[in-house]
Amino acid sequence: MEKGPERKKRFRMGAALGIIAVVLIIAVISLPRWQGTEKENPPAYWPTQGWRSTAPEAQGCDSARMAAALQAIRAADIDIHSLMIIRHDMVITDAYFYPYDGSSVHDLESVTKSVMTTLIAIAADQGKLQLDQPMVSFFPGRTIANLDERKQRITVRHLTGMTSGLESMGFEQDEGSLKEMEAAADWVQWSLDRPVVSEPGTQFVYDSPGMHLLSAILQQATGQTALEFARQNLLGPLGITEVMWMSDPQGFNDGWGHLYLKPNDAAKLGHLWLHNGMWEGRQLVPREWVVQSVTPHMETPTNDDYGYGWWVMNGEAGQEYAAIGRGGQRVHLLADLDLMVVTTGGGFNIDEIWPYLDQVLADPEKLLPANPAGVEQLNAAIAAVAQPPAAQPVAPLPEMARSITGQTYQFDDNPLKVRTVRLDFGAADTAILYLTLTDGSAIPAQPVGLDGVYRIIAGKYNLPQGARGYWADERTFICEYNEIAADNHLNLKMTFPGDQLQVEALETDHEYGVTIQGRQQVNPGG
């Protein structure tokens, strides 16, 4: 993860918006400033049962330019899965990029934090808990290590704003904190036992384990898991029925990530915030919380600020803010312009797509003339980016492909949690990859397209996953393994020296790389 200038590029809709930036300065002057109150005019409809669309020109956007942008993003091989742009409550673009087609839920990663803190606010509004209640008061049956006076001063509010003072590796190393937590038998206990290294409420430190504590707190306070409480008090009222949320070994939903929603349902969270917590005439989330959640509370080591579960851009409360998850998951709002951009991805930086969008919003405050030809181009582009590439001719297989077919390679404990690997080359254009994991489970037999096209199957949790690959040389096979409904997109360089298999794995978002070494089983079996 980046900080400073690099993170500014990744998490801000700034200079890369080009033409938008100039036009918006003029537009914003004439718009009322966001005061944390509901809009004077409610929306023409609530998207509880689904979103409505309009021609981009009706919102000051150029459909032909949007078509060109989508095609350019696809041509640049950016690992984006979906792009949804909404203005004045109307969808002007809703595109899905191969191999993700939008039919399944998608891992939102740390966008989950924005949902988790929202659930805490709703529970507080219902009197189930208090924001300034001490953290440790929710765990009376646990023996907590390092329980000093500072730890006793940590409150629920501190956890929502990541100012608890608990020891953490921080923003750039947050994955390391998570790996340590996940290695423990009890994730909540591990998170509670950490020492306090700074006075609560005085320092921002990005801390996913702290967000996981909020899930346990919510369950303790309400008697419901975070998912059960969300279905009843947030997701249900928003009309969201398709949802999946991972849990820890004790059954607490992951408070920091792994909430799966469809992109068009994730957009409803942004719509709720643009309407200051109001939904269908009901104050679903306290208005005061909405205001505070997108108000900076503490200086961060990045160029953006943090509220309660939301990132705040430009240091100004309620103007430009976002729920952000690694790998390209984002609900990004410009409140003054009533504009929302929602993306999912398999591992891309948001600044990769802004240059292609910088001329789309030609003048958001003026209608453009109807452009049926441009709309037709846009519809054609949306259809095109969803299609697989043309199949490529398959080169003759090297001798190595025949010699390793049917051979099983076994690995010692490793970060990939892979126990065995087997590759079979039989069909002319498809191989089969077999994987078992260190916990004894097996990944479904995964076809691997050798013609540049993913072979997609129903994988774990019945979500789509695919693979494709090619021989780079006589001993090196490159396999692209893609959990399509998540940001787990691995490039696997598989080298076969003698009776060994070396696997170099690199995530497409370049945050994780590892090399593991296995040896051919003497009696591989099956």
Measured between alpha carbons, how far is 460 from 444 in angstroms, rounded to an integer?
A: 8
Q: Which helix (H) or strand (E) holds 226?
A: helix 226-230
Rounding to the nearest 10 degrees, give the CA dihedral for residues 246, 249, 253, 257.
-60
Residue 17: pLDDT over 50: no
pLDDT at 393: 96
Report the DSSP pairing between strands 244-245 and 259-261: antiparallel
Q: Indicate whether this model's pTM tops 0.85.
A: yes
Buried-state track 386-401, b at ≥16 Cβ within 10 A, e below 16: beeeeeeebeeeeebb
Measured between alpha carbons, how far is 294 from 40 in angstroms, rounded to an integer?
A: 20
Tens digits of residue pLDDT in 35-67? 554 455 689 899 999 999 999 999 988 999 999
Tens digits of residue pLDDT in 160-209? 999 999 999 887 778 889 999 999 999 999 999 999 999 999 999 999 99
Residue 8: pLDDT over 70: no
Report the DSSP pairing between strands 52-53 and 90-96: parallel
Average pLDDT of the residues of the chain: 89
Tell me the Ramachandran region of residue 88: left when phi exceeds 0, alpha when psi lies from -120 to 50, beta otherwise.
Answer: left
Residues 91, 85: contact at Cβ < 8 Å? Answer: yes
Measured between alpha carbons, how far is 491 from 478 in angstroms, rounded to an integer?
A: 7
Structure tokens given for 455? 């072979």
Structure tokens given for 2? 């980046």
Q: What is the mean pLDDT of residues 490-506?
A: 93
Neighbours of 239 (CB within 10 A): 15
Residues 4, 11: contact at Cβ < 8 Å? Answer: no
Tens digits of residue pLDDT in 387-440? 999 999 999 999 999 999 999 999 999 988 899 999 999 888 999 999 999 988
Buried-state track 120-130, b at ≥16 Cβ within 10 A, e below 16: bbbbbbeebbe
Measured between alpha carbons, how far is 18 from 357 in angstroms, rounded to an integer?
A: 9
Tens digits of residue pLDDT in 263-293? 999 999 999 999 999 999 999 999 999 999 9
